[in-house]
Amino acid sequence: MKTKSNTSLALIAAVVLASLPVTVQAGRTLEKNVSITVLDAQYQVQPHKQQDDLWMRVRTGFSLANIQSQEVRQHESNFSKNQRFIDHIVERSQRYLFYIIEEVERRGMPAEIALLPIIESEFDPDAYSRRHAAGLWQFVPSTAKAFGLEQNWWHDERRDIIAATQAALDYLQMLYKMFGNWKLALAAYNWGQGSLKKVINESHGGNKSVNYQEIGLPPETRNYISKLIAIRNIIANPRRYGIKLKSIPNRPYFEQITITQPIDVQLAARLAGISESEFNALNPAYHRPLIKAEDSPRTLLLPVTKIKTFVDNLENYDKSLVSWRTYQIEQTETLRDLSSRYRIPVARLAQINGLSERTTLKKGQILLVPRDGSNAREMTYLAHYQLKPPATKRSRSEVIVYTVKKGDTLHAIAKRYGIDIKTIRLWNKGSDLLSIGQKLTFKLTAPSFSSPYSS
């Protein structure tokens, strides 16, 4: 039985299999690697839809009243003359549309809402506007924060397919309740609820039943709704507009798997048997080469057919899951100094850390640097590994400062680092009691791990 002593990865897989008629819960330890577990894997079954083509399913949910206007006709003409644009949209949307229409239907919303990312971002989760809006649904930072979307150096949930979709639909439903009809809700989503409410109060006596075409909306917002109606009309009857709409299978494209340990983006893609570009298209919220997961579990989206591949490859992977570590800048260091020390081009180092090559580094600033440089410490700051160095591997001494977190026990810390419980009691002055934020300083002998990309 093959085991790996240098990593411990807990996985919670939520897998939706459309072919099963019942919900099954399972908890098991993967036999080939005792340190990897799949916990409470849920196989949830959705009733089969009659339509094999997802576009047919979308059409059945259209419910917004048509708009007879020159603006709608003009956008219909523009879209129908651009088959390449339609093909481009279909190619991108096939990853996300099934999930979005499932959520729209579950909430009882008009199916046109599922087409909104065409207008917002052309179904590009990496889209970024001059107003600093990001993702499929184009959340600006303040609105994203109001709806609980995390935004930090590591991770931007405005680009997260699941989180951003849930937040956008929550927001649209809130706007619908506020204004009483979907066209005004869409106008508020584009223009801002405060701006729309102000003009309704000032020019229409607060009458929310006013026709949106009678409101003095800015041109961008009028075009926003007109574009959505135009693209809806084309998808409803593509033949009428001379458009060929490529079929999208009416089944899930991706499933979710949750990791509780850090992993390189490049390695995660490789273990799943997909390209890095495909991985990033499904997981665009992670904008560093390392997915940081020691603070809280992180969800990965993988193609339905690749979940088992990922888990099987992971359980048999016997190297470190990370090849990056954080480095805290000292007073006089530059990007060029770090480039030389860790043998990484300045341009690449700057790109990884979201910096310009001319950036002046500040004392205490945190950067990602390769773990496999000649002077790099072999211990990663993400200290959730079972570090029991094999006797045959050359080791080095490492000074560790461990900060106690909620739920930690001496036994758990000892197990994590492969150290005898009596030794760890000595670090804690003979006591079994720990307090959150307490620091334990100790020496650890860690193996000299190779890069996960080495052969």
Task: Enumerate the active-site residues.
Answer: 120
CA distance 434 to 418: 19
The position carrying tokens 């961008």 is 220
CA distance 133 to 137: 8
154 class by beta-carbon count within 10 Å (0-12 exposed, 13-18 middle, 19+ buried):
middle
The position carrying tokens 């099934």 is 98
Sheet holding 24-29, edge to edge: 24-29, 36-43, 9-15, 254-259, 298-303
Q: Are 168 and 162 in contact (CB under 8 A)?
A: no
Structure tokens at 295: 């603070």
Q: Are 448 and 378 in contact (CB under 8 A)?
A: yes
CA distance 104 to 101: 5
Interhelix angle 161-179/97-106, rounded to 10 degrees, is 40
Structure tokens at 434: 């720990």
Structure tokens at 58: 């979308």
Structure tokens at 454: 């080495």
Q: Are 15 and 39 in contact (CB under 8 A)?
A: no
- Which of 262, 259, 319, 311 lies closest to 289 in space, CA to CA? 262
Task: Calculate ∠ Cα 185-187-188, nearest 5°.
Answer: 65
